C-alpha cells in the first residue's frame, strides 16, 4: 500500500473526428476493413490547427481538478507526460502552468512515450511519499497528428490526439494507487523514433525535412507488436506479484491503447476474460501517453469501475519504456 489517493481524473478529446474512410478520401491506399481488422481502430481525433498540447492538457486538468474539488492554486507539482510538447523549451508543463494560473507549482515534462502517464504517476508517488509535494497534477497530453506522415499508411492510421489527467494526494480510504513499476531499455531506442527536432538534427534543415526526419518512425511494426505483448504480460504479472494477488483478481485492465489484437493475445496468454480490457482505441486510436489516462477517466465516469475494483494499467512505448500501475478504486 502506498497511501496515495487519486482525488480526481479528467480527459479531453478534440471535436474533429477522422474516420478510416476519411483517410481513404485523403488519398491513402488502405481500407476500413484492413485498419479495423489489424488494429481495432475505426476513427481518431485531430486537434484544431491553433490548439497545442498544453491546450488539450488544460481542458483535461480542469475536469480532473473539478472532480477532485480543488482549484489550480491547490496544486504544488504539475507533471506533463508528452512526446509532442508545445515547444522544446520551455516544457509543456510550463505552458500549462501559465494557462492554469498555478504559478505556485513546480512544473516539468516527462518523456516516456506511450508509458508517460504511468511514469508521471510514479514520480507523483515519490514526491508525495517524501513530503516534497502535497497535491500533484499528472497530465498526459499529445498532438500526435502533427508528427505523422499522412502518406505512410503503416503509421498514420494508428495515432490520434487527446489528453488525460489525474490529481493525487495522500489519503487512505479508497481510490488508492497501490503500486507503480517502471522499466526502460535505451538500447532499443531506434524501434519507435521521432528523430527530428533534437540536437541530432538541429538546426532543422530543408534536408532533414525532405528526409522526413520530423515524422514518427516505427521500424519493424511487426516486431514492435511482439515485444509490446511480451512487456505488457510481464508488467501485469509484476504488478500482481508485488501486491500479492493473482492476475485473475484484477477487475479491469486499462492498458496503453496500442492494438486490439495485442490484448486478445494477452487475454489468452494470461487466461483472463477479454471483457476485462477497457478499450477506447476503436474511437480514439493510439494517443501515446494519453491513451490510458483518457480510458481510465472514461471508465470512472461511465461507472464501469465500481468501488473496491482492482485496476491494472499496463503500458508499453518507444524508448523502450514499459511498466504498470495498480489501483484499488
Minimal CA–CA distance to 236: which of 314, 129, 137, 141? 314
Q: Are 48 and 14 in contact (CB under 8 A)?
A: yes
Q: Which three cell numbers stand for residue 44?
A: 481518431
The answer to whether 199 contacts ligand COA (rule: CB under 6 A) is no
Minimal CA–CA distance to 163: which of 261, 54, 242? 54
Q: Shortest approach of ligand COA to residue 144 CB, angstroms? A: 11
Residues 6 or more apart whose Cβ sits within 8 Å of residue 47: 14, 16, 55, 56, 143, 145, 146, 161
The answer to whether 52 contacts ligand COA (rule: CB under 6 A) is no
**Catalytic entry in 114, 156, 292, 312:** 114
The answer to whether 194 contacts ligand COA (rule: CB under 6 A) is no
The answer to whether 193 contacts ligand COA (rule: CB under 6 A) is no
Q: Does 114 qualify as catalytic in the annotation?
A: yes
Residues 6 or more apart whose Cβ sits within 8 Å of residue 228: 258, 259, 262, 316
Strand pairing report for 310-317 and 217-218? unpaired
The answer to whether 222 contacts ligand COA (rule: CB under 6 A) is yes
| Contact letters for ligand COA, residues 8-47 (x by CB under 6 A) | ----------------------x---xx--xx--------
Q: Does 303 qualify as catalytic in the annotation?
A: no
Q: Does 286 qualify as catalytic in the annotation?
A: yes
Q: Are 57 and 92 in contact (CB under 8 A)?
A: yes
Region from 85-93, 153-161, 195-203, 270-278 binding ligand COA, contact rule CB under 6 A: 153-161
The catalytic residues are 114, 256, 286
**Contact set with ligand COA (CB under 6 A):** 30, 34-35, 38-39, 114, 153-154, 157, 192, 221-222, 224-225, 228, 258-259, 316-317
Amino acid at each position: 500500500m502506498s497511501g496515495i489517493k487519486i482525488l480526481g481524473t479528467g480527459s479531453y478529446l478534440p471535436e474533429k473526428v477522422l474516420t478510416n474512410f476519411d483517410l481513404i478520401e485523403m488519398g491513402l491506399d488502405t481500407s476500413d476493413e484492413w485498419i479495423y481488422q489489424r488494429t481495432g481502430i475505426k476513427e481518431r481525433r485531430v486537434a484544431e490547427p491553433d490548439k497545442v498540447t498544453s491546450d488539450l492538457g488544460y481542458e483535461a486538468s480542469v475536469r480532473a481538478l473539478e472532480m477532485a474539488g480543488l482549484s489550480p492554486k491547490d496544486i504544488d507539482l504539475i507533471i506533463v507526460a508528452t512526446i509532442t510538447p508545445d515547444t522544446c523549451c520551455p516544457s509543456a508543463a510550463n505552458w500549462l502552468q501559465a494557462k492554469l494560473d498555478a504559478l505556485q507549482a513546480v512544473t516539468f515534462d516527462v518523456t516516456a512515450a506511450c508509458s508517460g502517464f504511468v511514469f508521471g504517476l510514479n514520480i507523483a508517488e515519490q514526491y508525495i511519499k517524501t513530503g516534497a509535494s502535497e497535491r500533484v497534477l499528472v497530465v498526459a497530453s499529445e498532438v500526435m497528428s502533427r508528427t505523422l506522415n499522412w502518406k505512410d499508411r503503416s503509421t498514420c492510421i494508428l495515432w490520434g490526439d487527446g489528453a488525460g489527467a489525474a490529481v493525487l494526494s495522500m489519503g487512505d480510504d479508497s481510490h488508492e494507487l497501490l503500486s507503480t513499476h517502471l522499466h526502460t531499455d535505451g538500447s532499443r531506442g531506434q524501434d519507435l523514433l521521432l528523430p527530428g527536432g533534437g540536437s541530432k538534427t538541429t538546426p532543422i534543415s530543408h534536408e532533414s525535412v525532405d528526409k522526413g526526419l520530423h515524422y514518427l518512425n516505427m521500424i519493424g511494426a511487426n516486431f514492435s507488436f511482439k515485444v509490446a505483448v511480451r512487456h505488457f504480460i510481464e508488467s501485469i504479472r509484476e504488478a500482481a506479484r508485488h501486491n500479492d494477488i493473482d492476475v485473475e483478481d484484477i477487475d479491469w485492465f486499462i492498458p496503453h491503447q496500442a492494438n486490439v489484437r495485442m490484448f486478445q493475445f494477452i487475454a489468452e496468454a494470461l487466461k483472463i476474460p477479454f471483457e476485462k480490457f477497457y478499450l477506447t482505441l476503436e474511437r480514439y486510436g493510439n494517443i501515446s501517453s494519453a491513451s490510458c489516462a483518457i480510458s481510465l477517466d472514461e471508465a470512472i465516469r461511465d461507472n464501469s469501475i465500481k468501488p473496491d475494483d482492482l485496476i491494472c494499467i499496463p503500458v508499453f512505448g518507444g524508448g523502450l519504456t514499459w511498466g504498470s500501475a495498480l489501483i484499488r478504486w
